[in-house]
Amino acid sequence: MNHELQNKLDLLVEKANQIILGKPEATKLSIATLLANGHLLITDKPGVGKTTLANVIARLFGLDFKRVQFTSDLLPADITGVTIFDQEAQQFTFHAGPLFAQLVLADEINRATPKCQSALLEGMEERQVTVDRQTRPLPKPFFVIATRNPDEQSGTFSLPDSQLDRFMLGISLGYPDRQAEREMLINPDPRTRLEDLQPVLNADTLALLQTQVQKVTASTALLDYLQNLLAFSRQDNAFQSGYSPRAGMSLLAASRSWALLSGRDYVLPEDLQAVIPHTSHHLSAREPGTDITQFLLDHVSIP
Amino acid sequence: MPSFPFRWRRKSRTDHPVLIESTPGGLRLLFISISLLALTALPHFNHIRLEVMLIFLGLVSYRGLAARYRWLPRNRWIVYVFAAIGFTVAAWFYGPPIGRDPGVAFLVIMLGLKSVEITSRRDVGIVVLLGLFTVMTHFLYADGVNWTLPLLALVIALFWLLAQMEHATPRVFMISDIKLVGKMLLQALPVVIILFYLFPRLSGSLYLFQGTTSSGVTGLGESLKMGTISNLIESEDVAFTASFFDQPPPPASERYWRGNNFWITDGREWTRGGHGTHLIAKDRGQIRQNRYRYEIELEPNNQNWLFSLDYPLEAPDQAWLQGDYHLVSKQPVKKKIRYQLDAVSFTGADQLTEQEMRLALSLGRTQITPRLETLIRSFTEGTSSSVMVANRVLQYFNQNNFIYSLSPPILASQAPVDEFMFDSQKGFCGHYASSFATIMRYAGIPARVVVGYLGGDYNPRSNQIVVRQSDAHAWTEIWQQDRGWIRVDPTAAVAPERIEGSIDISSLGSDGRVLFDSNNLIGFKRLYIETIWIKDAIKAKWNRWFINFDSGRQKELLKSLGLDKFEFKYVFMLAFLVAISLLSLLSAWLFRSEREKIDPVSKIISRFDNKMRKLGVARNPNEGPRDFQLRASKALPHLENQLAEITDTLVFLRYNPEVENMQPGNHGSSKDSQLALIKSKINQLKAKQNPRSA
């Protein structure tokens, strides 16, 4: 990888951290997800900066950005678009919905009905949308950053496991630390700073970086480790269900991306260990409330 | 089996194992483990001091509480303190741990201490091993089938616990676990069979290696005192089993099993006496009629005599036959023994020596009260026939409201016979037999009391008679010049049913009167009897196949296999030792080969790990190379550069793509040369020099 690209990556991370204060790991994970061509799920309480994070990333990546606020009365057509009869042209024309953007922020996804959620999730997996029996491809690249409130909050529809599987990583931001919060209090409006933010990447450089991610080497030893982790999650009693094969693939992709962001062109066990704590939505523990990913990491040794 | 890198199976490379209760499901696993441990030790409750047991339970509970209340200390020092307390208490009661009971007491204390030491999931494996060992110690006390089955259940439970260690989280019911446990049991079976049948036998079953008293082993006593047999009758324990081969057994009224003859009395107690009666048995071999051949399997009773059906013809190997048909055992019966005997129903008019005559008429210090004397006079009046006198006495018993009872009043006076005959008139065989014999002697008729068993349950399932302690009986024999000894059972005059049927403990009347089995068994009663028969048949088979497989039977088996030609015992021992050493070599090789299969880079990594462990920084199994480098550099700052260099190379060799393309001999940076270089660097790693010596 040449220096120019590496510099861009560094700049990307640096600029994101200038706005998202005190959350370097969360921003790095978000960037890694997008570089690995995956979708991101942010689970947290309202007001901790989920939307800001999505905004920052959209801007830095230079992506065409749309935001959908999910509500309980949202209809699938509201996000995919509708076909309307055009009087002048005497034909049906398609009016694309907000899903037809390079980066879609699906805000508070668990407030929408399951029907609406699945419209979004179909788009995420197929990267195409079927409206009125006509299948339309979504733009390239296509990312979804979905945010959700923790499920115990009232008025939400929890996402089924099979749909959660489509998010590569799931992060949560948490409250800022004291110093970061002080900075926020002094300089309260992040939106103004957001508007000053210049894109670091464009569609071409992003595509280039994505190919670089795919070229990151995962050695035999590392694949052994990954497969041990996958097998353990499927066979051990602590797990109701383990990683799916799709989850395994996205795990590797995310750790490749993490390795690249760490300035390496090969994956280390540490990279896997960095992303695994953010994949608990791919797993389900038999005993709720246990730190299932930590348990997994504790019990599988590195070959 | 899945080839997972589970931590408990490998030698742990970690300094700080994860606390078992912090893992998911670990709490449950811990509680199951310590409960099972407690369960395996609990049957020892019967044999060891309550204080020791309480300490054990306290230690186990302490471990359980420590899981909930983490502040409870579980370090080395607290274990030392507990050990000091536990061993002091055990030593206080038992002295040094030599012998069965002290050994078990110390073992139980150590089990408790081990439970306190359970830290990681790995330790559950130790619990399983200890549990299996503890199960084995129970056979030091008993080896019956009803005892073995619960222990087998415990073994299965321990195997199940072992299977749980395959998973990080225990689950009660899983098909795969059941399969695994079944597999383990099946795999053990051939080994068990080989060891059981071919491992050189010591004579005697395991629970006789006790050296301590055989307290609690029931049987007839050395003497007959009014009141002693009552305790016996209430026990359903089997005294012995008699097998009659193809012959039908004698009728119930003829089943008098002679144990001991009591010649000497002091008015209350009848004893054998320390002398006399060593007569040689007469040759009665020609008697053919009513001859029974049978085999007795005698439960241990720690007595010096054997039981025989009246009248034994010849002594078995284990005993001498005395003139009064008493079988003196050559050794106290401390283990189950078997012997074969012939019985004939005829004595052959034995004659008495002078000494015997004197003994058979002596009343010692027995008090004969005036009213008793008058009564006896009335029996002897106008007749010289012993049988006639005896019949009169029996008639007297029969017609004078005498009651057969298992709970007669205590006879406290100086003349118990008098008190029994005139005041209480309530008693069981012992009362009747001793009173009758006393009356006979006073009337000038030689008489003796015989104790043994009467009847027994015929089990048609196994063609055996099972004689229980509740069949204990006492009767008398009187001597007549022309006929020799004649059996007279005075109890028959009071309760003839006692002779035909056995006493049914469950049907004791409220006043202690005994109701007897009726012959028409119907419904549940029938079912109950059938169950007992089947139970006894199972027990008999168990004893025949397993418990009695002693050194003698083993020799027979070896002979049939043609293995008796040489000293098989030593050959087997040798073969066993060779097999054990071969197995350990094999397992060592298997583990080694697993290591060998790993590529040279893995080898060098484990070399590095070993070296670092020696330097005091052990890599956790799940710790990545860079994380480890950071941690190690912090712990050993003086090695920072070397550690970085080594880690760089190791990471390069293991995870970097370029290493695949590296050609051997490519300007000195080949994989091999890199490996050699790194090896020397690892060897050079040293703990920090002592600054003073530097």
Q: Does A222 lie at the interface with B, CB-CB under 8 angstroms?
A: yes
Indicate the pLDDT class of residue B36, thresholds 50, 70 and 90: very high
**CA B542: distance to chain centroid?**
13
Which of B2, B7, B651 is the closest to A299 by Cβ? B7
Left if phi > 0, otherwise alpha if psi is -120 to 50, otherwise beta: which for B629? Answer: alpha
List, in sequence order, every beta strand (DSSP E) within B154-300.
Answer: 223-225, 238-243, 256-262, 264-265, 269-271, 292-298
Q: How far is CA B541 from CA B206, B297, B630, B668, in A?
A: 19, 12, 69, 78
Q: Is the pLDDT of residue A208 over 80?
A: yes
Contact yes or no for A217 and B25 at CB 8 A:
no
Q: pLDDT for A52-92, tens place per residue?
A: 888 888 888 888 888 888 888 888 888 888 888 878 878 88
Maximum mean pLDDT: which of A186-195, B88-97, B590-599: B88-97
Q: Does A287 lie at the interface with B, CB-CB under 8 angstroms?
A: yes
Question: Which alpha helices (DSSP H) does B501-565 contain, by range?
Answer: 523-542, 551-560
Contact yes or no for A232 and B4 at CB 8 A:
yes
**Beta carbons of A148 and A230 less than 8 angstroms apart:** no
* Predicted structure pTM score: 0.49
**CA B234: distance to chain centroid?**
23
Out of A73-82, A93-102, A119-128, B550-559, pick the least confident: B550-559
Q: pLDDT for B189-234, tens place per residue?
A: 888 888 888 777 665 444 444 333 333 334 567 777 765 555 455 5
Distance CA(B553)–CA(B204), nearest Å, equals 12
Task: Give me the long-range contacts of B373-380 (CB less than 8 A, separation at least 24).
Answer: B373/B442, B375/B421, B376/B439, B376/B442, B376/B443, B379/B439, B379/B443, B380/B443, B380/B444
Q: Is the pLDDT of residue B11 over 60?
A: no
Domain map (residue ranges) of chain B: 20-172, 223-516, 600-684
Distance CA(A56)–CA(A44), nearest Å, equals 17
Contact yes or no for B621 and A265 at CB 8 A:
no
Q: Which of chain A's residues have a Cβ under 8 Å away from the Cβ of B169?
A: 236-238, 286-287
Contact yes or no for A295 and B171 at CB 8 A:
no
Out of A28-37, A285-294, B62-71, pick the least confident: A285-294
Distance CA(A260)–CA(A9), nearest Å, equals 9
Distance CA(B495)–CA(B469), nearest Å, equals 19
Tell me, what's the pLDDT at B72? 84
Contact yes or no for B655 and A290 at CB 8 A:
no
Tell me, what's the pLDDT at A52? 83
Mean pLDDT across chain B, nearest whole number?
77
Q: pLDDT for A285-300, tens place per residue?
A: 777 777 888 888 888 8
Tell me, what's the pLDDT at B111? 92
Contact yes or no for A221 and B655 at CB 8 A:
yes
Which of A237, A266, A302 is the closest to B624 by Cβ? A302
User: Which percentage of chain B shows pLDDT scores above 70?
Assistant: 76
**Beta carbons of B90 and B127 less than 8 angstroms apart:** no
ipTM: 0.82
Q: pLDDT for B576-623, tens place per residue?
A: 889 889 988 888 887 765 555 557 787 888 888 888 888 888 888 888
Distance CA(A79)–CA(A168), nearest Å, equals 22
Q: Is the pLDDT of residue B280 over 70?
A: no
Distance from CA of B206 to the nearest CA of A (A): 41
Let me know the angle formed at the C-alpha of B364 by B363 and B368, rounded to the nearest 5 degrees. Answer: 55
Q: Give the residue among A81, A59, A93 at the shortest CA–CA distance from A131.
A: A81
Place of tokens 């081969």: B245
Q: Is the pLDDT of residue A253 over 90?
A: yes
DSSP state for residue B546 in the 8-state scheme: I
Q: Does A223 lie at the interface with B, CB-CB under 8 angstroms?
A: no
Contact yes or no for B5 and A290 at CB 8 A:
no
Pick the residue of A215, A270, A292 with the most B CBs within 10 A to test the interface with B by mutation: A270
Q: Is the pLDDT of residue B62 over 90?
A: yes
Ordered domains of chain A (ranges, CATH): 3-201 (3.40.50.300), 216-303 (1.10.8.80)
